[in-house]
A and B are shown apart, each in its own frame.
Chain A
Amino acid sequence: ADIISTVEFNYSGDLLATGDKGGRVVIFQREQENKSRPHSRGEYNVYSTFQSHEPEFDYLKSLEIEEKINKIRWLPQQNAAHFLLSTNDKTIKLWKISERDKRAEGYNLKDEDGRLRDPFRITALRVPVLKPMDLMVEASPRRIFANAHTYHINSISVNSDHETYLSADDLRINLWHLEITDRSFNIVDIKPANMEELTEVITAAEFHPHHCNVFVYSSSKGTIRLCDMRSSALCDRHSKFFEEPEDPSSRSFFSEIISSISDVKFSHSGRYMMTRDYLSVKVWDLNMENRPVETYQVHEYLRSKLCSLYENDCIFDKFECCWNGSDSAIMTGSYNNFFRMFDRNTRRDVTLEASRESSKPRALLKPRKVCTGGKRKKDEISVDSLDFNKKILHTAWHPMENIIAVAATNNLYIFQDKIN
């Protein structure tokens, strides 16, 4: 199994897609509730697996293009088939996943095993009949959106109009129509005329969940820009600029690096957005640009380890974050296979672990605690014992229920609320 690089529930939560470093997409489907098997309430099983992207080499630019799936985004379901967008560093693909549970039998010109029948032997005409067959799930690429990004794609986001979507790389954001692959519109371009003046890059972008003219993008300097596509064709000038003022006396070599935003997500309500930087998660009210309304510390104890985290490159890890369906809770990952959940109303937080040892099927997860001070209590883990190779970068929350998907390197964990 390969390292999982993205996790995403579809709009109903019945399907869960994962992308991995090997360019493969695996889709899980939730089992229907079955009275005869009450324990299998809502278990997710493999529904479809397909190879989405292959490694490529751009000979003209001497650039190796990884097949790693950076992001998957589902389209809202409009018919029996399911559609999703998957992207690697350079190319976005629209995949159609459809079910086939019938096949035609009794063809005139060929046998049941496909061999051609001798036309002179055919004396009568028959009408083929549809017979049920074992369910087959097929994935086929319907559109390939290529050659629009010079730099590496970090985000894709489907618009609420269900007709367009955006793709963002380090310096540019493009707008596409789902039906048109040979054209895309550039809506943000922050490439400086002189590359030596480059000071910040785009790290994530997302469309507003309800206003099809509004999107946001975050930067490596910890800022978020909200843009309105009605105001101009090129949205280089933002409509809103979100930045938390920094205390100049606390500035250090690491300040800018740890302020880099690795993920930005609108709340389902569309009233708030959440950003993830290296040490914290911040919730912003779209009506207030000068500071976030809530800040949650994910692993503040790492602030005194920044030197070694810079040396082993962990300081550049890009953690994602997500909202629950009602926007009352948020979740993000950390190291040592830990992930954190924050309740926005009660202000309570919990640290849980996604590992084989600590998760037996149907057993309650035990909260974890990292010891920062001197005396380590039993069951606590000290900061120096944390495994920085076990990072949880990708998590997803079911759109309506308390079911979460957590990717721990090459393992996928699905946790549910305990049934009473």
Chain B
Amino acid sequence: QDMQEKEPITPERAEEVKLKAKYPSLGQKPGGSDFLMKRLQKGQKYFDSGDYNMAKAKMKNKQLPSAGPDKNLVTGDHIPTPQDLPQRKSSLVTSKLAG
């Protein structure tokens, strides 16, 4: 919105214009709550303790023999561990149960 003005634009404002041009959906609040919420959510990972323990137990035993003719097909062979799961994107609306 500053591009029409004749007066010199500050370097900071120029950078803001650049950013808004790249990410038009960037929120109105500068910095704001969503960035703070993400900061508080750091470390959040979701996994299934059953899957985790199954994976640990499997590693202790020998490798399971692959059944069937197609030995290269791997279906459901990989049990997710905490390290594998992608970090859940935090929702902007916090559940009232949280915190």
Which of A's residues lie within 8 Å of B, judged by CB?
57, 59, 61-66, 89, 150-152, 170-171, 191, 195-201, 220, 250-257, 260, 303-307, 310-311
Residues B44 and A195 in contact, CB atoms below 8 Å apart:
no
8 Å CB contacts to A: which residues of B1-32? 10-16, 18-20, 22, 26, 30-32
B49 to chain A, nearest CB (A): 6
Residue of B whose beta carbon sits closest to that of A66? B43
Q: Taking chain B's interface residues, is the majority helix, strand, or loop, or is none over half, making it mixed?
A: helix
The yes or no answer to B36 lying at the interface (CB within 8 A) is yes
B residues less than 8 Å from A305 (CB atoms): 15
Residues A306 and B15 in contact, CB atoms below 8 Å apart:
yes
A residues less than 8 Å from B46 (CB atoms): 62
Residue with the highest number of chain A CB atoms closer than 10 Å, among B14, B19, B32, B46: B19
Residues B98 and A195 in contact, CB atoms below 8 Å apart:
yes
Residues A307 and B15 in contact, CB atoms below 8 Å apart:
yes
Which of the residues A62, A65, A197, A254 comes within 8 Å of B47, measured between beta carbons?
A: A62
Q: How far is the CA of A327 from the CA of B49 in the complex (A)?
A: 53
Residues B30 and A253 in contact, CB atoms below 8 Å apart:
yes
A347 to chain B, nearest CB (A): 24
Residues B20 and A253 in contact, CB atoms below 8 Å apart:
yes
Q: How far is the CA of A311 from the CA of B15 in the complex (A)?
A: 11
Residue of B whose beta carbon sits closest to that of A259? B31
Residue of B whose beta carbon sits closest to that of A191? B99
Q: How far is the CA of A197 from the CA of B10 in the complex (A)?
A: 31
Residue of B whose beta carbon sits closest to that of A257? B31
Size category of the B interface is 20 to 34
Q: How far is the CA of A252 from the CA of B26 in the complex (A)?
A: 13
**In the complex, given contacts A200-B36, A252-B10, A304-B12, what are 13 additional A-B residue pairs having Cβ atoms less than 8 angstroms apart?**
A59-B49, A62-B47, A65-B43, A197-B33, A198-B33, A198-B36, A220-B31, A250-B10, A253-B31, A257-B35, A260-B31, A311-B19, A311-B22
The yes or no answer to B89 lying at the interface (CB within 8 A) is no
The yes or no answer to B58 lying at the interface (CB within 8 A) is no
Closest 9 CB pairs of A and B: A304-B11, A256-B31, A306-B15, A307-B15, A307-B18, A252-B16, A253-B16, A252-B12, A257-B31
The yes or no answer to B71 lying at the interface (CB within 8 A) is no
Can you name 27 A-B residue pairings with CB atoms under 8 Å?
A62-B44, A62-B47, A64-B82, A151-B40, A196-B33, A196-B93, A197-B33, A198-B36, A199-B32, A200-B36, A220-B31, A252-B12, A252-B16, A252-B30, A253-B16, A253-B20, A256-B32, A303-B12, A304-B12, A304-B14, A304-B15, A306-B12, A306-B19, A307-B18, A307-B19, A307-B22, A311-B19
Which of the residues B15, B18, B31, B43 comes within 8 Å of A64, measured between beta carbons?
A: B43
Q: How far is the CA of A69 from the CA of B73 in the complex (A)?
A: 43
The yes or no answer to B79 lying at the interface (CB within 8 A) is no
Residue of B whose beta carbon sits closest to that of A220? B36
Residues B39 and A63 in contact, CB atoms below 8 Å apart:
no
Residue of B whose beta carbon sits closest to that of A309? B15
Q: How far is the CA of A255 from the CA of B32 in the complex (A)?
A: 11
Residues A198 and B37 in contact, CB atoms below 8 Å apart:
yes
Residue with the highest number of chain B CB atoms closer than 10 Å, among A200, A305, A310: A310
Residues A199 and B15 in contact, CB atoms below 8 Å apart:
no
Q: A64-B43, A253-B19 are in contact. Are A199 and B33 (CB under 8 A)?
A: yes
Q: How far is the CA of A197 from the CA of B93 in the complex (A)?
A: 11
Q: How far is the CA of A203 from the CA of B99 in the complex (A)?
A: 19
Residues B39 and A201 in contact, CB atoms below 8 Å apart:
yes
Residues A303 and B11 in contact, CB atoms below 8 Å apart:
yes
The yes or no answer to B75 lying at the interface (CB within 8 A) is no
Which of the residues A89, A201, A254 comes within 8 Å of B43, measured between beta carbons?
A: A89
Q: How far is the CA of A330 from the CA of B36 in the complex (A)?
A: 30
The yes or no answer to B45 lying at the interface (CB within 8 A) is yes
Q: How far is the CA of A30 from the CA of B98 in the complex (A)?
A: 49
Q: How far is the CA of A65 from the CA of B44 in the complex (A)?
A: 9
B residues less than 8 Å from A303 (CB atoms): 11-12, 15
Residues B16 and A254 in contact, CB atoms below 8 Å apart:
yes
A residues less than 8 Å from B37 (CB atoms): 195, 198
